[in-house]
Amino acid sequence: MTEPEIIFSVEGGAGVITLSRPKALNALTFDMVRRMDRQLVDWAGDSAIKVVMITGAGDRAFCSGGDIKSVAEMVKNGAAARKEAGEFFRLEYTLNHRIFTYPKPYIALIDGIVMGGGKGVSAHGSHRIVTENTVFAMPEATIGFFPDVGGGYFLPRCPGETGLYLGLTSRRANAFDSLYIGFATHFVPGAKMADLRAAIAASPHRLEAILKRFSQAPTPVSGLVPYREKIDSCFGHDSIAEIFAALERDASPWALGTLKTMTSLSPFSLKVTLQQIRRGAKMDFADVMAMEYRLSQACIDRPDFYEGVRAALIDKDKTPRWNPPTVDKVKDADVAACFQSLGAQELVL
């Protein structure tokens, strides 16, 4: 018998969502997203459900992202499959918006890896609980994409330029970094997460008091703190060329290491991501999601997307051949075209 990919249960006064693809690090499929969205609608209207909790099965990941390998393969399989790939993003972003506007406490229990689409089903909820095992990243530039699922809203609202830094470098962040940038709201040791879940389910009306009892102060401090001044200085520009130049002028081991990382990523993705985050700083969440839907449809049709997924997830040779190969070869007009309205195909929330 095939195990379900997503499980919905009721525990006391809590609706519980369990992402249940542990071998795939709980990556989101089209069906999982569709079913989760429908369930949230049902629970929103159910007076017996006081809170919603979401967790991941297994001991490695909360959610590693969307099943981007399947999406890339759809893009290559003709018009009908390409249309389905586009609809995956429409439904995923609709789900992200539902979570952002959810009328009940939405609590993400994030023990392990949370990347890409995993952020979309956690960061926009009211409570995000991390453990010492949490690893957070937005690695989309490594696969010729951009930090979507609301990254254009969340990242520019991180302290200073830390969000842009994370989005342009795909740097991994630990639990303490996650608290510092505002992704996480509470830190609870992994050994206590099951007890926390049970306590919330038993007394959802006492949610805040329960979280206060279980949570601990973050120690040590975020590893971003010692580099905060450099991050704000080097990433406080509106072009990738200027950011590269600032890193070269700084010339510290941190700056040169950051520059080396960025020059290995998709040049087109870097330029799109910078514009996405700068524009998103001035938008409300629904407008950001509409913008990101436009970007998703443009980017999945560009060569870097399949090439990035091929190198990372299909052939796994880790040597993508980007097109264009360098930032200076990326045309600003091509980047701007990704942000243009889709007309009747726009995402309307």
Annotated catalytic sites, by residue? 66, 117, 140, 148
Closest CA to 110 of 173, 24, 201, 32: 173
DSSP string, 38-87: HHHHHHHT-TT--EEEEEESSSSEEE--B-HHHHHHHHTS-HHHHHHHHH
Residues 256 and 245: their CA atoms lie apart, in Å, by: 11
Number of H helices, E strands in the chain: 16, 10
Residues 220 and 222: their CA atoms lie apart, in Å, by: 7
H helix runs in 175-284, sequence order: 175-181, 193-202, 207-214, 228-234, 240-250, 253-262, 267-280
